[in-house]
Amino acid sequence: MRLRPLSLTLLALSIAACGKQGADSNAVGGEVAANTNANVAPPPGGDWTQVVSSTGDGIAMGNPNAKVKLTEIASLGCPFCKRFEDEGVPEVMKLVKAGQVQWEFRPFIIHGPVDVAANLIARCNGPQGFFPMSAALYREQAKWMGQFEKAPQDRVARIQNLPPTEAFVEAATLAGLQDVAAQNGLPSAKANQCLADQAAVDREVAATANAGSQFPEFKGTPGFAINGQFVPDASAWAEVKPALEAALR
């Protein structure tokens, strides 16, 4: 069974509600949305995986003028999303590298504070650092999610009473996310700065809300859209692959 998105009771975390923003609007927190219609020259060697930019709600890799735009809505803490990372992403990357597909990853909150914390760390080194860090977080998912789930319940409950500038630092600490970040090139001090960034937190909340608004059919992570059309009943590579191949033909 796929995990379903939890209702966002982030008021309990004292997070200000965000107004909706479209996927092509400027992102909160200093990232600028990618212009997916720009004429971008092929990178040296023709490897389009080197072209990475923010879309506001997510991060896109690949040729902005690719025939096929694949959008993945996923949680870094979701085991079904990790399965797609393991099975599907290596195949998707081949298509991205060749310039046939642009792949956008949109982080989605289903596990509350620890998901937000993971998203903030993944984005902390900017768009170019996102995919290497998200891959590392997936590799270590069982470890940091397991550590958070085993954390003392009084400390987990305390997160709800902390100000946002402290809440996600504490969630990350309980999960050991700063250690994962440090092992993958993001110093703990910088990770904690990103975890305490209110504007970045607002962006994550807005991105989750926008996914549900843009794709009413989306019921759980991972979810996929191709060229803006949601792919129903697809959560694994075996289900996404035929739709992707059809779009490429």
- pTM, two decimals, is 0.85
Given this model, what pLDDT does residue 133 score?
A: 98
Query: 117 pLDDT exceeds 60?
Result: yes
State the total domains in the chain. 1
Flag whether 192 is in a domain.
yes
**Quick one: pLDDT band at residue 38, thresholds 50, 70, 90?**
low
Query: 8 pLDDT exceeds 80?
Result: no
Burial 168-204 (b: 16+ CB within 10 A, else e): bbbbbbbbbbbbbbeebebeeebbbebbbbeebbbbb
**pLDDT tens string 51-95:** 999 999 999 999 999 999 999 999 999 999 999 999 999 999 999
**Quick one: pLDDT band at residue 22, thresholds 50, 70, 90?**
very low
Flag whether 59 is in a domain.
yes
Distance CA 232, CA 168 (A): 33
Flag whether 58 is in a domain.
yes
Percent with pLDDT over 90 in the chain:
80
Flag whether 21 is in a domain.
no
* pLDDT mean over 143-157: 96
**pLDDT tens string 161-173:** 999 889 999 999 9
Flag whether 150 is in a domain.
yes
Helix then strand then coil, in percent of the chain rounded to 5, is 50, 10, 40
Q: What secondary structure does DSSP assign to 215-229, as a single string?
A: -TT--SBSEEEETTE
* pLDDT mean over 192-202: 97
* pLDDT mean over 223-227: 98
CATH number of the CATH domain containing 105: 3.40.30.10
Flag whether 73 is in a domain.
yes
Q: Coil, strand or helix: which one is 55?
A: coil
**pLDDT tens string 174-190:** 999 999 999 999 999 99
Handedness of CA 113, 222, 23, 96 (dihedral sign): positive
Given this model, what pLDDT does residue 42 score?
A: 79
Flag whether 24 is in a domain.
no
**Quick one: pLDDT band at residue 46, thresholds 50, 70, 90?**
confident
Q: To which residue do tokens 């989306």 refer?
A: 218
C-beta atoms surrounding 107 within 10 Å = 28
Structural domain of 203: 51-248
Instruction: Kindly calculate the radius of gyration of the chain based on its CA atoms and give it in whole angstroms.
Output: 17
Flag whether 207 is in a domain.
yes
The dihedrals phi and psi of 120, each to the nearest 5 degrees, come to: -65, -40
Task: Write down the mean pLDDT value for the chain.
Answer: 87
Percent with pLDDT over 70 in the chain:
84
Contact criterion met (CB below 8 Å) for 34 and 54: yes
Which of 84, 22, 11 is closest to 56 using CA atoms? Answer: 22
Query: 34 pLDDT exceeds 50?
Result: no
